[in-house]
Amino acid sequence: MRTGLPPLEYPKKPDLDYINKGYGPIAENARPALQHLGRTHVESFNFFLEEGMEFALNDIGLFEFEIPQTGERVGLQFLDMIYEKPGTERNSVYIKHKLYPSEFRQRESTYKAKLTVNIDFKVNGLTREIFAVELGDFPTMVRSKACNLEGLSPQQLVERGEHEEEWGGYFVVGGYEKIIRMLQTTRRNYPIAMRRNGWKDRGKDFSDLGVLMECSKKDSTITKNLVHYVTTGSAMFMFSHSREMFFCSCYYAA
């Protein structure tokens, strides 16, 4: 029994004001500690969108071939690639309608965007035509520069069906959130002495000792070079090309 206290006032209808009052206001800015969780993945994808695609196109270079009937040399060269943001066109007039990840989670679809490449068509070294080719739709990383959530405040994220602290760094594929896990690898362009038992199975006289160096280009394309120590006192150099391993014997002159 409550004695000496005012009687309790029960709500006459369902009311949650006593719970929601002053609870969970949306912050003006995202928390840096939470945004850091997806930063490495987002920055890696942004590198692909900017410097990475440019380095890859420069590495491809000019592809030429000759037409036997005419003797003309035809050349094809990639000029640039355009990765659009996820969207859709409305009516006959080109009006871009932005799409957001929350819609694709509900539709069990893939959050993706169109990738287009401009190609320079040359004949005997002279440009005949520059035309665009659509390479298809590619998944877009959430909160990257190709995502429509990039740069939005917590309040704007909530308005678009996202969590106020959404940090991204993953893809929405088939309605599911998927992460491409980054593997920790050895230091690039640096020789490292290693011991692996599996190296013994590569051939006669192979040992478990070797020196590995992962050589990287500006576009982060990596190839592994390995110097095997063989039990004859010599060495065997291994390099890979088109996913095939080649071995070269190393002999020391007396």
Q: Give the model confidence (pLDDT) of 163-179 as tens digits.
A: 998 999 999 999 999 99
- Ramachandran assignment for 49, one of left (phi > 0), alpha (psi -120 to 50 degrees), beta (any other): alpha
Q: Given this model, what pLDDT does residue 2 score?
A: 46
Which residue ranges make up each domain of the chain? Answer: 32-178, 192-250
* pLDDT-flagged residues of the chain (< 70): 1-11, 14-24, 89-96, 182, 251-254
pLDDT tens digits for range 4-62: 556 656 667 766 665 555 556 788 888 888 888 889 899 999 999 988 888 888 888 88
* Rounded percentage of the chain residues whose pLDDT exceeds 70: 86
Q: How many helices (H) and strands (E) does the chain have?
A: 6, 13
Reduce the DSSP state of residue 125 to 3 states and report it: coil
What does the block give as tokens for 157?
A: 């994220």
- Please check whether residue 72 is in contact with residue 66, taking contact to mean a CB–CB distance below 8 angstroms: yes
- Exposure letters 74-112 (e unless 16+ CB within 10 A, then b): ebebbeebebebbeeeeeeeeeeeebbbbebbeeeebbb
Say how far apart CA 206 and CA 240 lie, in whole Å.
Answer: 18
CB-CB contact of 207 with 228 (8 Å): yes
